[in-house]
């Protein structure tokens, strides 16, 4: 059995993809303790069972809203085997921001580049191969409302579950210096050892309230750390 999560911005066709993958085999409930809908379903492909969870539609993982917190906790704590990042091809720039964050969280992602028909109508020409190469993750174009690309997506999910990639995004040297410094402090103080190191370091640098709380590190401490650079 493969654990799969669907993540993406609101209104990208995530639910359509979820329905296309799972068909009638769905279970709808709530996330524990909150009134946010949780949709789960099963999909069988080449004798392998995918257990699919549809995460709430979000713009980022800053955990300010309950939706973002649910999605973040699920990916970091439940560690799904594959995260299908549904990207709206007609709004690709804004959508890829979430992709960047998923990569930083070291999620094993597969991109479903959805609404390809709409992107074409808008005159966008997307070089899918190049996008995949630049990001270091597999990309499958889909038009979910017409069922196009769904079989290819299933095959990409299965593939990805066998080969865990670890792409990473390099920032400018200046920022990387701060990241490595904070990383060393995170190791030194064994902060959140179950979470990806680079992700924790970046979030602490962003002074992300939620992560600071979980790590029990205050703003002053982080500011003291980074004063050591330069």
Partner 1 sequence: MKLSELREGESGVVVEVRGDSEVRRKLLDMGIVKGAEIKMVRNAPLKDPVEFELKGYYLSLRRKEAENVIVE
Q: How many CB atoms neighbour CB 22 within 10 A?
A: 20
169/187 with CB nearer partner 1? 169
Cβ at position 160, least distance to partner 1 in Å = 26
- Of 21 and 71, which CB lies nearer to partner 1 in the complex structure? 71
Span of 44-52, 54-62, 191-199, 221-229 interacting with partner 1 by CB under 8 A: 54-62
CA distance 11 to 95: 11
Cβ count near 133 (within 10 Å): 11
Q: How far apart are the first and last CA of the chain?
A: 49
Q: How far is the CB of 113 from partner 1 (least distance, A)?
A: 16
Return the axis-axis angle of helices 14-22 and 150-162, rounded to nearest 10°. Answer: 80
In three-state secondary structure terms, 139 is: strand
Check: CB of residue 112 under 8 Å from CB of residue 4: no
Binding footprint of partner 1, residue count (CB under 8 A): 13
Nearer to partner 1, 95 or 140 (CB): 95
Stretch 156-185 residues interacting with partner 1 (CB under 8 A): none
Indicate left, alpha or beta for 47 from its phi (over 0: left) and psi (-120 to 50: alpha): left
Using CB under 8 A, which residues numbered 62 to 101 contact partner 1? 62, 64, 90-91, 93-94, 97
Q: Do the strands 37-45 and 26-30 form a parallel or antiparallel pair, or are they unpaired? A: antiparallel
Cβ of residue 172: shortest distance to partner 1, in angstroms? 15
Distance between CA 230 and CA 128 in Å, rounded?
40
Helix (H, G, I), strand (E, B) or coil at 222: helix
121 near partner 1, rule: CB under 8 A: no
Among 19, 26, 42, 60, binds partner 1 (CB under 8 A): 60
Interactions with partner 1, residue window 190-219 (CB under 8 A): 206-207, 209
Nearest-angstrom CA–CA distance, 209 and 61: 12
Closest contact distance (angstroms) between CB of 16 and partner 1 is 18
Nearer to partner 1, 93 or 188 (CB): 93
Decide whether 64 or 164 has the Cβ nearer to partner 1. Answer: 64
Instruction: Provide the binding-site residues for partner 1, judged by CB under 8 A.
Output: 59-60, 62, 64, 90-91, 93-94, 97, 122, 206-207, 209
């Amino acid at each position: 059995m493969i654990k799969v999560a669907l993540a993406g911005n609101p209104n990208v066709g995530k639910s359509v993809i979820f329905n296309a993958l799972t068909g009638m085999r769905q279970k709808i409930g709530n996330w524990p303790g909150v009134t946010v809908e949780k949709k789960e379903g099963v999909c069988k492909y080449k004798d392998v069972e995918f257990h699919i969870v549809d995460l709430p539609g979000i713009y980022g993982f800053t955990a300010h809203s309950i939706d973002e917190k649910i999605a973040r906790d699920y990916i970091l704590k439940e560690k799904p085997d594959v995260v299908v990042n549904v990207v709206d091809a007609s709004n690709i720039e804004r959508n890829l921001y979430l992709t960047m964050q998923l990569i930083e969280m070291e999620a094993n992602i597969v991109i479903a580049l959805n609404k390809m028909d709409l992107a074409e109508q808008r005159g966008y020409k997307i070089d899918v191969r190049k996008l995949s190469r630049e990001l270091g993750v597999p990309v499958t174009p889909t038009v979910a409302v017409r069922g196009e690309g769904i079989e290819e997506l299933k095959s990409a999910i299965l593939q990805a579950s066998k080969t865990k990639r670890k792409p990473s995004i390099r920032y400018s040297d200046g920022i990387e210096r701060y990241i490595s410094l904070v990383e060393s402090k995170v190791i030194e103080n064994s902060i959140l050892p179950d979470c990806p190191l680079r992700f924790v370091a970046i979030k602490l640098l962003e002074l992300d309230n939620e992560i600071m709380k979980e790590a029990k590190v205050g703003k002053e401490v982080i500011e003291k750390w980074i004063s050591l650079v330069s």
